[in-house]
Structure 1
Amino acid sequence: MAASSAMHPDLLAATLRAAGCVFAEDEAALLLREATDAAALTSMVERRVAGEPLEQVVGFAEFCGLRIAVAPGVFVPRQRSAALVRRAARGLRAGDVVVDLCCGTGALGAALASAVPGIDVHAADVDPAAVACARRNLERVHEGDLYDALPRDLCGRVDVIVANAPYVPTAAIATMPPEARDHEHRVALDGGADGLDVQRRVIDGAPDWLADGGRLLVESSDRQAPVSAALMTAAGLDAVIDGQAVVGTRTTVRS
């Protein structure tokens, strides 16, 4: 391709390494593969050297074996979230209803739809840029604030809610890598004073939306997980900490 002759891979890798890219050789190969011509390659390299996340530069992220569309400003799927997908997929069957809250690109919902064919996946985000991006990865994406965005007929019928809600304490955002703090919208990062403001609202609303036996799975830090579990217990869910995921189950009510 024209881009390959515009810059030698070794020179490109050296340029990226000088800019602080740890996996410079891999990134160089990807940029050379994805650039359509020399001008596109130059633009992509400039964006990457300026600190823009690689996934936003090339327009996609590899996640759970899928190519997930990514757009500027939208939260980039983290590989650690694949564990949340695996836990959520356990026990799901065709026809089950799944909701991906604070969906960003919709990566979690898309991965679950791929893992369990036939499930009914809905996703929601308050950020219009995230919603537009997620609609490239999923069919049913709703714009709005958490549960307010969802169709009302899902109330009490949801088998799994997955939520990678923002959980970075406000004061800690300044210490995040520049790729995140400068290139992902703050609404996708800022979890309030203790990092759990949005997660509290997700947990509080979950019992009304979950079916009997339905599960809520949230991603959390090691430090925050016990608090998240306590919040689930207070909301009437049976809570279990599973690594950096906290799972709350709506126990079947028997008369």
Structure 2
Amino acid sequence: MTVKESPEAAAEVLQHALTGDDLPDSFHLLGREWALHRGVFPGTLTAATEVMASVLPYPQDGSFLEVGCGTGVISVTAALNGCKTVTALDINEKAVANTEANAERHGVGDRVRALHSDLYAALDPGERFDAIFWNVPWTYVEDGFPLSTDLHSAVFDPGYQGQARFIAGAQDHLTDGGRLLMGTADLGDRERLDGFAAEHGMRVELLRKVRRIEVVRVMEYHLLELHPA
């Protein structure tokens, strides 16, 4: 079942992340301190970052690609948890700088490469990864919804077209046997996502389901894996 979230309520959170003068320049998560740059979606506004960073099946001694890296918590955690190389992509240039700062802070700057990119655009055509992951913006809005700042793409994916492009382009960047992973929540439109996967000859499997008590409601976070149908 899809639980509806008000785009207006999500936009209020974004506006605070952009202009709130009470936000700190760092936050604590997963036993570590992380730099937070203004204009980057804070990794503690929901439990999504903590949940996904904790349950992802990182490819040991392999290559990991994260789309939408934000502050870099998941990409850095991947490097700290055995990935040989990590590539972090984000459409928000401030997020790229934030990820680089956190990779240096935690001693993995030599293994984490951060690139400004709309999905896979910044990658070389031949680049392949053992795992590709995106903690997707699950708030559904219709096509044409205005993304007035780069930060809006952290929460809104109009028509889920970004997720459709993520699925469509993944096979060009997966190794043989590579894993395509997505993080979402019960607020997401799973039926629509399943439809996009089917269009590209794939099926969606629920790998993990984690519930967290948050300020407004109990959130249920889902780690998904997409397989050839």
Identity of aligned residues (%): 24
Structure having the higher strand fraction is 2
CA contact (8 A) 1:211 1:250 kept: no
Cα offset for 1:53? 8.2
Bigger-Rg structure (1/2): 1
TM-score where L is the length of structure 1? 0.63
CA contact (8 A) 2:63 2:83 kept: no
Cα offset for 1:118? 4.3
Q: Deviations over 1:93-134 (max 9, x none)?
A: 11x1100101111211112222x2242100011111111111
Cα offset for 1:58? 2.0
- What 5-or-longer segments of structure 1 have no aligned partner? 1-47, 172-181
Q: Cα RMSD (Å) of the superposition?
A: 3.0
Among 162, 167, 183, the residue aligned to 1:203? 167
TM-score where L is the length of structure 2? 0.69
Corresponding position of 2:57: 89
Structure 1 position 229 matched with structure 2 position 194 = yes
In the alignment, residue 152 of structure 1 is paired with which amino acid? P
- CA–CA distance in structure 1, aligned partners of residues 203 and 55 of structure 2: 16
Q: Report the CA distance shift for 1:142/1:248 in structure 2 as closer, same or farther (over 3 A).
A: same
Q: Report the CA distance shift for 1:228/1:63 in structure 2 as closer, same or farther (over 3 A).
A: farther
> Aligned with 1:160: secondary structure?
strand
Cα offset for 1:183? 10
- CA–CA distance in structure 2, aligned partners of residues 53 and 103 of structure 1: 23
Among 32, 56, 62, the residue aligned to 1:66? 32
Corresponding position of 2:138: 167
CA contact (8 A) 1:105 1:133 kept: yes
Structure 1 position 247 matched with structure 2 position 214 = no
- CA–CA distance in structure 2, aligned partners of residues 236 and 53 of structure 1: 47
> Aligned with 1:152: secondary structure?
coil
Cα offset for 1:74? 0.4
Q: Report the CA distance shift for 1:61/1:197 in structure 2 as closer, same or farther (over 3 A).
A: farther
Cα offset for 1:209? 0.9
- CA–CA distance in structure 1, aligned partners of residues 190 and 118 of structure 2: 23
Q: Report the CA distance shift for 1:89/1:53 in structure 2 as closer, same or farther (over 3 A).
A: farther
**Which structure ranks higher in relative contact order (CA pairs < 8 Å, sequence separation ≥ 6)?**
2
- CA–CA distance in structure 2, aligned partners of residues 161 and 105 of structure 1: 17
Q: Report the CA distance shift for 1:80/1:144 in structure 2 as closer, same or farther (over 3 A).
A: closer
Corresponding position of 1:186: 152
